[in-house]
């Protein structure tokens, strides 16, 4: 079997691009094609050697069927077919939710506190690996802080294997079979990307963190973005390593 040669990026919003995944591809001379579904680009025809990377966005699984995001159902159907074809897939945030939904799962609004109330998870916090998972053990030996930016939690399908959780949201990192990984958190962000999110998504920031949320996130960005960069790159490399190994032995 061929290794991964091309990355097909399903992108849903200008500011939520592939970030570090694009850097990874360029460093390894992998072809990368960006499909802007929000701009009515057609879903791609896949072939051996392709990996599908599904990015985030403000829309969600509950928007499937709406006129505003008419392409979401087509995208989920596409993902379902590619899961059946055992095509390597990585989903980030919305992408992870779509993978779970395509495999029979769902989402619900994330709640916190007593009594539980709707509250997004926004900002940098640690994720904790499930003790039964060994593939990512080395990366999680020291505390691993990642960026969260979501208002839903994933309800995993029965076939999913949970790999890591945060204190606020259990379903942070999972796999389905040997060929699909879902990340509720954002591993791909650069410092410039995050600062743009803070500026352009201020209403969501206020909802999760209050009126001082933007300044709080800017300070966190300075603290964690560079500090976690190497580990986040190692994480991306490990994902590709595992997916390539599985395909070569299929």
Q: Determine, yes or no, domain membership for 107.
A: yes
User: Can you give the CATH number for the domain in which 148 is found?
Assistant: 3.40.50.880
Q: Determine, yes or no, domain membership for 131.
A: yes
Q: Determine, yes or no, domain membership for 223.
A: yes
Q: What is the pLDDT of residue 250?
A: 40
Indicate the SS3 state at residue 13.
coil
To which residue do tokens 């599985």 refer? 246
Q: What is the pLDDT of residue 246?
A: 63
Token reading at 26: 């360029």
Mean pLDDT by 10 residues, the chain (250 residues): 88 97 97 96 96 97 95 97 97 98 97 92 95 84 95 97 96 96 97 95 96 96 96 96 70
Q: How far apart are CA 233 and CA 44, in angstroms?
A: 26
Which of 201-215 are b and which e, b meaning 16 or more Cβ less than 10 Å from the residue's Cβ?
beebbeebbeeebbe
Q: What is the pLDDT of residue 231?
A: 96
Q: Determine, yes or no, domain membership for 187.
A: yes
Closest by CA to 40, choosing from 76, 69, 7, is: 69
ω into 115 cis (within 30 of 0): yes
Q: What is the pLDDT of residue 131?
A: 74
Whether the predicted model's global pTM rises above the 0.85 cut: yes
Q: Determine, yes or no, domain membership for 217.
A: yes
Q: What is the pLDDT of residue 249?
A: 45
Q: What is the pLDDT of residue 184?
A: 98
Q: Determine, yes or no, domain membership for 1.
A: no
Q: Determine, yes or no, domain membership for 173.
A: yes
Query: Which residue range forms the structural domain that includes residue 235?
Result: 6-248
Q: What is the pLDDT of residue 247?
A: 52
How many domains is the chain partitioned into structurally?
Answer: 1
Q: Determine, yes or no, domain membership for 176.
A: yes
Within 13 A of 159's CA, how many CA atoms are on the CB side? 15
Indicate the SS3 state at residue 115.
coil
């Amino acid at each position: 079997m061929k290794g991964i040669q091309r990355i097909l990026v399903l992108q849903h919003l200008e500011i939520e691009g592939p970030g570090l995944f694009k850097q990874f591809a360029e460093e390894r001379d992998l072809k990368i094609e960006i499909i802007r579904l929000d701009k009515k680009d057609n879903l791609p025809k896949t072939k051996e050697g392709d990996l599908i990377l599904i990015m985030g966005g403000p829309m969600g699984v509950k928007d499937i069927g709406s006129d505003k995001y008419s392409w979401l159902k087509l995208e989920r159907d596409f993902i379902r077919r590619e899961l059946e074809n055992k095509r390597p897939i990585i989903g980030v945030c919305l992408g992870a939710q779509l993978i779970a939904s395509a495999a029979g799962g769902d989402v619900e609004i994330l709640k916190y506190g007593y009594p539980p109330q709707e509250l997004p998870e926004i900002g940098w916090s640690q994720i904790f690996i499930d003790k039964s998972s060994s593939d990512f053990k080395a990366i999680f030996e020291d505390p691993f802080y990642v960026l969260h930016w979501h208002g839903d939690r994933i309800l995993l399908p029965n076939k999913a294997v949970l790999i890591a959780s945060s204190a606020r949201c259990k379903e942070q990192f999972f796999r389905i079979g040997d060929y699909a990984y879902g990340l509720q958190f954002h591993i791909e962000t650069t410092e410039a990307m995050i600062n743009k999110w803070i500026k352009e998504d201020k209403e969501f920031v206020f909802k999760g963190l209050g009126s001082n949320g933007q300044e709080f996130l800017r300070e966190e960005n300075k603290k964690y973005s560079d500090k976690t960069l190497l580990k986040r790159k190692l994480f991306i490399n490990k994902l590709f390593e595992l997916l390539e190994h599985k395909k070569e032995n299929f």
